[in-house]
């Protein structure tokens, strides 16, 4: 169940980055002063990404996200038919860090061990 939750949340991270990119595109297209937000589009690639970098894959012809298998994967795991570099890095980084912490906790080891404070004993002679 924990692995399923990790994949669900990692998909939410990818989806949130996609929505953030859409907001940045809208801001940049509405105001000339905000054109500097188009970091990747004008400098490195000619795709429709504003801040997400070059395309890692485009599976729109093989597995579109508006038909059955892609729709299910999109709803559950945040699958997108066009994945960008920043989304892929965020997905892998999230799974590595949070998944690593999760699997360490399953093994009985804690990533952030609790600090035990030793109480000082004062020898009081009565």
- DSSP letter string, the chain: -HHHHHHHHHHHHHHHHHHHHHHHHHHHHH-GGGGGG-HHHHHT--SS-SSS-SEEEE-TTTS-TTSHHHHHHHHHH---SEEEHHHHHHHHHHHHHHHHHHHHHHTT--SSPPPPPPPPPP----
Other Cβ atoms closer than 10 A to 109 = 9
pTM: 0.71
Give the angle subtended at the CA of 51 by the CAs of 11 and 10, to the nearest 5°.
10
Q: What's the pLDDT score for residue 35?
A: 65
| Phi and psi angles of residue 67, each rounded to the nearest 5 degrees, phi first | -120, 175
pLDDT by residue, tens only, the chain of 126 residues = 888 899 899 989 998 998 888 888 787 777 766 666 666 555 545 556 777 888 888 888 888 878 888 888 877 877 888 888 889 999 999 999 999 888 888 877 766 666 554 555 555 555
What the block records as the tokens of 42 is 């004008």
The span from the CA of 75 to the CA of 118, in Å, is 50
What the block records as the tokens of 110 is 């804690």
Q: What's the pLDDT score for residue 89?
A: 93
The span from the CA of 5 to the CA of 81, in Å, is 21
Q: What's the pLDDT score for residue 99?
A: 92
């Amino acid at each position: 169940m924990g692995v399923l939750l990790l994949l669900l949340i990692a998909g939410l991270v990818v989806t949130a980055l996609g929505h953030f990119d859409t907001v940045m595109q809208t801001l940049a297209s509405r105001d000339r002063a905000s054109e500097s937000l188009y970091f990747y589009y004008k400098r490195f690639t000619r795709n429709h990404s504003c801040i997400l970098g070059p395309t890692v894959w485009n599976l729109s012809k093989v597995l579109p996200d508006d038909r059955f298998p892609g729709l299910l994967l999109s709803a559950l795991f945040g699958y997108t038919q066009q994945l960008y570099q920043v989304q892929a890095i965020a997905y892998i980084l999230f799974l590595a860090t949070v998944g690593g912490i999760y699997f360490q906790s399953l093994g009985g080891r804690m990533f952030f061990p609790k600090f035990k404070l030793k109480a000082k004993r004062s020898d009081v002679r009565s």
